[in-house]
Amino acid sequence: MPKYANVIIDISAGKLDRPFTYRIPEYLKGSLHTGSLVEVPFGAGGKTRAGYIVGFSDHADYPDEKIKDILDIRTKGSDSTGDKSVRLAAWMKERYGSTMTSALKAVITSRGQVKPVTTKEVRLLIDAESAGEKLAVYNRKHQVARARLLESLMEVPVQPYSLICEKLHISAPVLRAMKEAGVIGIETTSSLRNPVTVEDAGSDSNVLSPQQRKIVDGVIADLTGNSDVRVSLIHGITGSGKTQVYISIIEEAVRLGKQAIMLIPEIALTYQTLLRFYRHFGERVSVMNSSLSEGEKSDQWERARRGEIDVIIGPRSALFTPFNNIGVIVIDEEHESSYKNESMPKYHARDIAVKIAEMHGGVVVLGSATPSMESYYRALHGQYRLYELTERLTGGTLPKVCIADMKAELRNGNRTIFSKKLQEMIEDRLEKKEQVMLFLNRRGYSGFVSCRSCGHVIKCPHCDISLSLHTGSRLVCHYCGYEQRMVSLCPECGSRYISGFRAGTEQIEQSLAAIYPKAAILRMDADTTRKKGSYEKILSSFANEEADILLGTQMIVKGHDFPKVTLVGILLADMSLHAGDYRAAERTFALLTQAAGRAGRAMLPGDVVIQTYEPENYAIRHAAAQDYRGFYEEEIVYRNLLRYPPAYHLLAVQVTSQNEEHAQLAAGRIRELADARIRGIVPAPFIAIGPAKAGIAKLRDDYRYVVYIKSDKYDTLIGCKDDVESYAAQLQDTPSGGDVRVQFDFDPMSGW
């Protein structure tokens, strides 16, 4: 064992972002690894700090008596993956611009001691015959939730309690009642063991279609051969068999002795999908989600480290699972913005997946019904392989989509928020006892209050954000939580004509109730889901057919399958077109396509009505026609012309300070630094824009400025980032810059 360890101290100050040398005490020799989290004395007072080991040496540049001892280790257990993690962190620091500490924190998964955790599971206690009889009773009494649970347990008889509550949408009272009736047992076990046991593995063995077979064979050939292209993109609508392909690829990889990471946006991970994975991989699969505690997360990671699992399913952070031989990383719904980390380092899971696969000699598989512009562009340019799945395997037809032109509705005297077509169809569904989903597209919009006399908009005094009107006449800032009472007179001109723009979910719920007094309506938005568990409660009650109409924001669009839904109405489809960033059309297209896909998932045919003021807009036209390629072709022209990703790379340098002048000065200087780099080079390797006030010019009393730099080469932007980093480090020592903070966002996913 070497004498010294190099340790990065866990302090956010940029200046301390370098390794410090510590002596390894006798009793820790042999138990420290690269990536270990340790405790060390630091600073003048010798305060105890946490730090990460990034390397070892036998020599130190300082006299031995000046070097302090490592005090203790926080993580136990061997970690052969630590080296890779530290290398990955170093790569992220360079590529995204952040401190080494932040990068290490994102990457290194061992945070504390591993304690055995308890898991609660639900077990079917009756035999198949009695279960069948019971099911008939439940169905007769229309006890939908009980029937749903029983059916699922008849397939897989022991299942995690949390899964059943969160993903199958079964409430605790239902579980209690079934327990008291002796149908199920609820047990608590304490172990590292996976909470699921599966009796008959492989019962779900579909024969792959020729299209599917071709993908699986192609990806496995890439994995086992020495091909240059190691990323594949599967473009296929929902129900076209993508998940089946992922499972088959992962099976092959596991057979080759490798591990697999499967990323799914948490909100899109359905119960059915999870069961399919459990059926194939049994105890060798584990699920990560945000409701797990830190302890439960390290528990999963510890199992991966010990080689007890082969497959992990989870959101972005599951990427960093400490497997030692990763064969494949799958990213489902790869266009989703939740794959972008929005705090430093601002990385995209797709790029990290490619890097990790490269380190392990593995492959990456991306899948989506509406691929990101990036991935499709790369696939068309030969960097990724492109595969198409063109048939829906679920039976059921694609929904019929029609566009309602709301300008025409107004001309014809319809002043409500519902088009005539939509009203007729809602009525029809209510009569047939089928269900309706109404999706209010309010991305980038809040129910602001404005004066019709002078145009004044009421804004938060701390953030440059318009306040939203809530019931009870409260005005609320959705960023910092600031509240004030609604005003009766315009504070600018004194006019009485000040009011909210009537397009919030609450108002729509009220007008719905007025038109359809007999309909049961559920509303799902930021307000009704604030309490823990309420999101699940609304979904389960809709799944149990306790309501006819589910009205909500984009949170209702993803993942959930409701077989009785045969009509989807999209209100204000164009709202998200005006979110003010270059991805607005792409996001709108994906949202509308996804929302439309909610109708007619089972055997009943479905209809979709898209209400819009811009029926001729290309994002809306192509979404209505469900034509991805058509959308891509038009969008890429715009990206090329204006030099936006994926045609170019874009770096947003974000500058904040409580002092507006300081922020402005620093941003101006950053622009000059960029210009200095270009000077004399022909053709110029990039263009700098700004500085400008950020889209949100003030947030929580911070003034925000942004400088954009565009280049066709990512490396050129890294050079610019390095310049800005050294400038920011110098700034720390000056009176006019000590409070200025700089962040980097490469190829940003959202406006700032």
C-alpha angle 443/423/521, rounded to 5°?
65
- Nearest approach, Cβ of residue 387 and ligand ADP (Å): 12
- 236 part of the interface to ligand ADP, by CB under 6 A: yes
Is 265 a residue that touches ligand ADP (CB under 6 A)?
A: no
**Taking the complex as a whole, how short is the minimal distance between the CB of residue 561 and ligand ADP, in angstroms?**
10
Chain position carrying tokens 């509308």: 592
Least separation, in Å, of the C-beta of 216 and ligand ADP?
Answer: 11
User: How is residue 631 written in tokens?
Assistant: 């959308």
Site string for ligand ADP, 349-388 (x = CB under 6 A): ----------------------------------------
Q: Which does 244 bind (CB under 5 to 8 A by kind): Zn ion, ligand ADP, none?
A: ligand ADP
Q: Minimal distance in Å, beta carbon 424 to ligand ADP?
A: 31
**Interface segment toward Zn ion; rule CB under 5 A; list 172-180, 201-209, 383-391, 450-458:** 450-458
Least CB distance to ligand ADP at residue 663 (A): 46
The b/e string for 654-682 (b: 16+ C-beta within 10 A; e otherwise) is: bbbbeeeebbbbbbebbbebbeebbeeee
* Alpha-helical segments (H) within 565-659: 584-596, 618-624, 628-641
238 is a site residue for ligand ADP (CB under 6 A): yes
Which residues between 383 and 412 bind ligand ADP (CB under 6 A)? 393-394
Touching ligand ADP, residues 455-494 (CB under 6 A): none
Q: Smallest distance, Å, CB 459 to Zn ion?
A: 9
- Angle formed by the axes of helices 584-596 and 628-641, nearest 10°: 170
The one among 31, 209, 383, 732 contacting ligand ADP by CB under 6 A = 209
Sequence-ordered strand ranges (E) for 325-458: 326-332, 363-368, 385-389, 400-405, 435-440, 449-451
475 sits near Zn ion (criterion: CB under 5 A) = no
Nearest approach, Cβ of residue 260 and ligand ADP (Å): 16
CA angle 192, 196, 200 (to 5 degrees): 135
Q: Which of 208, 503, 519, 697 binds ligand ADP (CB under 6 A)?
A: 208
Cα-to-chain-centroid distance, residue 211: 29
Specify the stretch interacting with Zn ion by CB under 5 A; choose among 121-129, 349-357, 446-454, 599-607.
Answer: 446-454
Asked if 737 interacts with ligand ADP (CB under 6 A), we say no
Residues 6+ apart with CB under 8 A from 24: 1, 2, 3, 4, 5, 32, 69, 70
Report the interhelical angle of 82-92 vs 100-107 (nearest 10°).
Answer: 130
Label the pairing between strands 468-470 and 649-657.
unpaired
Is the separation of the CB atoms in 393 and 210 below 8 Å?
no
Any contact of residue 81 with ligand ADP (CB under 6 A)?
no
**Residue 161 corresponds to which tokens in the numbers above?**
């309690």
Q: Is 423 in the site for ligand ADP (CB under 6 A)?
A: no
Binding segment toward ligand ADP, per CB under 6 A, in 208-216, 414-422, 455-463, 682-690: 208-216
Cβ nearer to Zn ion, comparing 473 with 499:
499
**Phi-psi region at 717: left, alpha or beta (left = phi > 0; alpha = psi -120 to 50):** alpha
Terminal Cα-to-Cα distance of the chain (whole angstroms) = 48
Q: Which residues have CB under 8 Å from 472's CB, separation 6+?
A: none
Of 129-137, 203-211, 605-613, 661-669, which part binds ligand ADP (CB under 6 A)? 203-211
693 vs 717: CA distance, rounded Å: 21
Q: Which amino acid is at 510?
A: Q
- Rounded to a whole number of angstroms, the minimum distance from the CB of residue 131 to ligand ADP is 23
CB closer to ligand ADP out of 212 and 743 = 212
Residue 56 corresponds to which tokens in the numbers above?
């070892």
Q: Which of 448, 482, 714, 752 binds Zn ion (CB under 5 A)?
A: 482
Q: Which residues bind ligand ADP (CB under 6 A)?
A: 206-209, 212, 236, 238-244, 393-394
Q: Which residues bind Zn ion (CB under 5 A)?
A: 451, 453-454, 456, 460, 462-463, 477, 479-480, 482, 490, 492-493, 495
